[in-house]
Each structure stands twice: as C-alpha cells, then as structure tokens.
Amino acid sequence: MKIIIAKLFVLAFGGGLILYGALGSIDILFVTGPKLERSELVEPGVMYVPALIGAGIALVGLVLLLGGWKRIKRFEKLERDFRLKTFDWYKRTYPHLITNGEIQCFGCGGGKLQVRALMQHTYHREHFCPQCGTTLYYSPECNS
C-alpha cells in the first residue's frame, strides 16, 4: 500500500516537472517567444534563456523520476526477498549445507555467518557470509 503511494508520488512529482519544463520550453520557443519577438518587445534570441531553464526543469524531473523509481524497485525486491529468502527457504534449498546446526555459504562454502540489521524501517536482519559477501537469508527483527 505504502509502495503504491510512493510510486504515485514519484510519477506525479517527476512527471509534473517534466511536463511543466518541457511544455514551458516549447511554448517559449515556438509560441510566446516568436510572438514577443515579432512585436519587438524582446530582442531576438533572448527567449533561449528561459527555454533552457525550462529544459533544465524537465531534466531535473526526469532524474527525480528515474532515481525515485529505482529506489522503489530496490525496496520492492528487498520486501520480496524478506518473504521468500527465510531460514526455512535456505534449509529447503540447500539441505546439504546445513549440518548439526552449522550453516555454510552456498557461494563459497564458508562456515562463518554474520548478521547485520538492515535499518531504514525494514525490521529485518541480513544473514550474510563475510568471506564472499553473499546474502544467505533474512530474518525479522525481534521487537522486544
């Protein structure tokens, strides 16, 4: 639910800036600018400055849109991994790597796991192999 709101926000905000900047530029270059130049209210060529500013605004909108979208996608993937890549999943997928409670890394075979909290309101911890950096599985944080 929160992700949908974030998506709408990124689309509306980034898309709004793109439309605003691009339409403003087009208007200045092809409609308002030539009209003002014909009526000799402005020097020829002076309208390129606001047109460039408009293009800049559109560019900022595009960067925000793509950057925001990428962040949301990354978060979505993480949320999916939290649900899928649990210890149970690891046990089911790599039963041969777990012996007497000792867990081995599927990437390099290392047997020393480390745990780190992911923060940023994810409420999950990552169990990873310090030897090769591979994430093995996730577990929810205990809220006690």
Note the residues at the interface with Zn ion (CB under 5 A): 105, 107-108, 110, 129, 131-132, 134
- In contact, 135 and 118? CB cutoff 8 Å: no
**Nearest distance from C-beta of residue 112 to Zn ion, angstroms:** 9
**Nearest distance from C-beta of residue 128 to Zn ion, angstroms:** 8
Q: How many whole angstroms from its chain centre is CA 19? A: 21
**Nearest distance from C-beta of residue 91 to Zn ion, angstroms:** 17
Q: Which helix (H) or strand (E) holds 125?
A: strand 124-128
Which of residues 122 and 131 has its CB atom nearest to Zn ion in the complex? 131
What's the 3-state SS for 60-103?
A: HHHHHHHHHHHHHHHHHHHHHHHHHCCHHHHHHHCHHHEECCEE
Residues 6+ apart with CB under 8 A from 17: 57, 58, 60, 61, 64, 65
Which of residues 32 and 131 has its CB atom nearest to Zn ion in the complex? 131
Which of residues 86 and 131 has its CB atom nearest to Zn ion in the complex? 131
**Nearest distance from C-beta of residue 104 to Zn ion, angstroms:** 8
